[in-house]
Amino acid sequence: MDFVTYGMFSRDQSPTPLANLYGVHPFYMCVEDDSNAHGVLLLNSNAQDVSLSPNPSLTFRTIGGILDFYVFLGPTPENVIQQYTEAIGRPHMPAYWSLGFHLSRWGYASLDVVKKTVKRMHQYDIPFDVQHFDIDYMDRRLDFTYDKTNYAGLPEYIKELKTEGMHSVIILDPFISKDEEPGTYRPYDLGQEMGVWINNSDGVTPAIGKSLPPGYSVFPDYTNPRTVEWWTQLCLEFKDVLDYDGIWIDMNEPSNELTGQLPGCAANDINNPPYIPSITGRSLAQRTLCPDSRTYLGEHYNTHSLFGWSQTAPTFHVVQQATGKRAFVLSRSTFVGSGKHAAHWLGDNNSKWKDMHYSIIGMLEFNLFGIPFVGADICGFNSNTTYELCLRWTQLGSFYPFSRNHNAEGNAAQDPAVFGAEFAKIARSTLRIRYSLLPYLYTLFFESHVHGNTVVRSLMHEFTSDQQTHGIDTAFLWGPAFMVAPVLQEGARSVDVYFPEATWFDYYTGKKIPSTWHKTYATVHAPLNKIPLFIRGGHILPEQAPASTTTKSRLNPFGLIIALDEHGEASGSLFWDDGDSIDTIENENYFLAKYTFRAGRLTTEILKNGYRGADSLKYHKITILGLKRRPHAVAVNGRAVRSDSFSFELNGKLILGISAPLTQELNLAIH
């Protein structure tokens, strides 16, 4: 709050403190002195800035649009976000496969390099669901083409990945080359015919800029219904060429190498307003189009920051139309409400330790913005990573909601299989923890989609009245119950972890954290092969035996981790459906169970049993943490369990092997 000013105007700008970045979210949440929270949104897409002072005060300055303020009264941080997403649109329900591990890079150079990379991932048995294809798959970086020399056989390879239970995501950029031979480049010819471009200030001639494709480019205007038709048609046609499962939309701020379009921006008050907010370069046209360009909705001056947002929904709808399944759309530029249709990655970060730390902050922010499906480029995008940085980042990235390793052209390969056997072993074991907890993560996304909850949240979110949690941005929670405390410093083999007042258990051992560690920082051992993870008492987490892909893991047996609080109680739930059909919740084609443990008994209430695919699934393992004494008898669904089917450890951990159908109510009694 120390007289800092943040500019907001979407920009192709790699993450830099105080710079205006890819998206615009004029929303803040405030925790008051009495620990009640409220939120405020200024729904305004014009260039703006906000100044914070220690008064405390916030001053919004916007250079156009409507002063449309929404106030959300909480009173808890989670209530604020539930109310905010009710107003702006709930987050979409992701496809289950998209919660697996994604691999990408710009600059594979050829399909052979992709194949070698995928092969070594499989040789090390590293869990891996999704292969991305960046602009190098294209013919000379032209949208809706592929390079038939370096990527010869790409359509067949994408089909081959499908048969292995994997998925593919292709990138599409928003600019379209205008300088190909007439009649040879259909996306441009069809766009010309349909009149889909952003125009110059005359409203007639297309705005011409420069970006990745050869020659000069024009820019589709996604606020125009004709453009949506054009984009839909091309994406559907391209599905017949490359059998993609999802689309990644990039550079949609929109990015442009010029300052404005040819021949430059006219000297007027729209292009050079009397006040320019605190944005990079202090020019509204830098790296984008002139503000007096015309879109279907009006001047670019007003609609610039809506470009990525306006591209997202049409892309989401066409992916669903093309695949007949739940869409995966990954967008770089976002605006208020983008979470309804898109996942987001945090942009062109650097392979630096501080950037790894920043990624936690970005992930927490986007959960406040109603875009919980978020992550950063694991190991960093720009410059070369190091063995230790990439290893620690892989451990952290295994717990991003959107988990993808991605880097830039010209850098050394950094996939988890390239560093050798020891690195691969650690990556494999950490990703297997992620995959085993995917039923819990998926259930959190269900609660996000239906109720607007955050998926990842800060410790402050859950322990608001504990002042010490308010500044913690080095650890985070999945939902209310699972704490991730990554190593963020080079050479460190321990982490100082703050434990708020609650019962906590070490994920690996099931051992209870000593009460002397509560409300204080404790030094936790973190050798190179381990990321510290903790489970909060009072919660039940569904789990499932992991596998190399979600296609395989979804067939595996389930388990429950029951972490007891100080009263010996816990509760939780499991949401399950086929993972990729559209509107399973609306159509009631899902399974939902609520688990309650108290007084030595687990009871299950099946709230919905509408998914027949769950009938063949079973519970095989129940883990209970925090038991006060060794049980002398255990019964499952009224039948005694043989003593050799369970083991008890002195730290209060009971592991029980069972075989019980998922879709029948599971009842457990411990005596």
Q: What is the pLDDT of residues 585-622, one digit of tens each?
A: 999 999 999 999 999 999 999 999 999 999 999 999 99
pLDDT of the residue at 380: 98
pLDDT of the residue at 95: 98
β-bridge partners, 635: 640, 669
Instruction: Give the residue-averaged pLDDT of 486-495.
Output: 98
Q: Write phi, then psi, for 270 (nearest 5 degrees).
A: -75, -45
pLDDT of the residue at 455: 98
47: nearest Cα among 267, 268, 270, 221: 270
Residue found by looking up tokens 């689309």 in the block: 247
> Residue 524: which region, alpha, beta or left (left: phi > 0; alpha: psi -120 to 50)?
beta
Name the percent of the chain lying above pLDDT 70: 100
Question: Alpha-carbon distance 299 to 134, whole Å?
Answer: 31
Q: Is the dihedral of CA 438, 440, 444, 447 positive or negative?
A: positive
Per residue in 217-229, pLDDT (tens digit) is 999 999 999 999 9
**Any idea how long the chain is?**
671
pLDDT of the residue at 121: 98
Instruction: Give the residue-averaged pLDDT of 572-585.
Output: 98
Name the pLDDT band for 282 (thresholds 50, 70, 90): very high
- Beta strands 102-103 and 69-72, pairing class: unpaired
The residues, any chain, with a CB within 8 Å of residue 596's CB and separated by 6 or more, are 569, 570, 571, 602, 603, 605
Amino acid (1-letter code) at residue 456: V
Name the pLDDT band for 471 (thresholds 50, 70, 90): very high
Instruction: Give the residue-averaged pLDDT of 21-39.
Output: 97
Tell me whether residue 78 is one of the annotated catalytic residues. Answer: no
- Class of residue 120 by CB neighbours under 10 A (exposed 0-12, middle 13-18, buried 19+): middle
Name the pLDDT band for 45 (thresholds 50, 70, 90): very high
Q: Measuring CA to CA, how many Å separate 320 from each of 285, 314, 324, 432, 443?
A: 35, 10, 5, 29, 22
Question: Alpha-carbon distance 419 to 416, whole Å?
Answer: 7
Question: Alpha-carbon distance 580 to 246, whole Å?
Answer: 12
Element (H, E) at 102: strand 102-103
Instruction: Give the residue-averaged pLDDT of 35-45.
Output: 98
- Token reading at 582: 């559209």
Q: Is 51 helix (H, G, I), strand (E, B) or coil?
A: strand
Kindly report the average pLDDT of the chain as a whole number. 98
Q: What is the 3-state secondary structure (H, E, C) of 320-331?
A: HHHHCCCCCEEE
Tell me 551's DSSP state.
Answer: H
Name the pLDDT band for 177 (thresholds 50, 70, 90): very high
Q: Write phi, then psi, for 362 (nearest 5 degrees).
A: -60, -40
Q: Is 598 helix (H, G, I), strand (E, B) or coil?
A: strand
Catalytic-labelled residue, pool 49, 129, 136, 250: 250
Question: Alpha-carbon distance 326 to 97, whole Å?
Answer: 10
- Please answer whether residues 220 and 229 qualify as being in contact, where contact means their C-beta atoms are separated by less than 8 angstroms: no
pLDDT of the residue at 457: 98
- Beta strands 102-103 and 404-405, pairing class: parallel
- Beta strands 102-103 and 48-53, pairing class: unpaired
Using only C-alpha atoms, the chain has a radius of gyration, in whole angstroms, of 25
Question: Alpha-carbon distance 40 to 67, whole Å?
Answer: 12
Q: What's the pTM?
A: 0.98
Tell me 335's DSSP state.
Answer: B
- Token reading at 271: 């292009």
Catalytic-labelled residue, pool 49, 78, 253, 577: 253
Tell me whether residue 180 is one of the annotated catalytic residues. Answer: no
Q: Is 169 helix (H, G, I), strand (E, B) or coil?
A: strand
- Class of residue 528 by CB neighbours under 10 A (exposed 0-12, middle 13-18, buried 19+): middle
Per residue in 86-112, pLDDT (tens digit) is 999 999 999 999 999 999 999 999 999
Residue found by looking up tokens 């769950």 in the block: 614
Instruction: Give the residue-averaged pLDDT of 480-498.
Output: 98
Name the pLDDT band for 636 (thresholds 50, 70, 90): very high
Question: Alpha-carbon distance 166 to 212, whole Å?
Answer: 29
Question: Alpha-carbon distance 579 to 416, whole Å?
Answer: 26
pLDDT of the residue at 81: 98
Question: Alpha-carbon distance 204 to 195, whole Å?
Answer: 9
pLDDT of the residue at 633: 94
Instruction: Give the residue-averaged pLDDT of 518-545.
Output: 98
Name the pLDDT band for 249 (thresholds 50, 70, 90): very high
Residue found by looking up tokens 């066409």 in the block: 318
Q: Write phi, then psi, for 82 (nearest 5 degrees).
A: -60, -45
Q: Write phi, then psi, for 176 (nearest 5 degrees).
A: -120, 125
- Please answer whether residues 531 and 495 qualify as being in contact, where contact means their C-beta atoms are separated by less than 8 angstroms: no
Q: Is 128 helix (H, G, I), strand (E, B) or coil?
A: coil
Q: Write phi, then psi, for 434 (nearest 5 degrees).
A: -55, -50
- Beta strands 668-670 and 634-636, pairing class: antiparallel
Question: Alpha-carbon distance 144 to 417, whole Å?
Answer: 31
Question: Alpha-carbon distance 563 to 653, whole Å?
Answer: 9
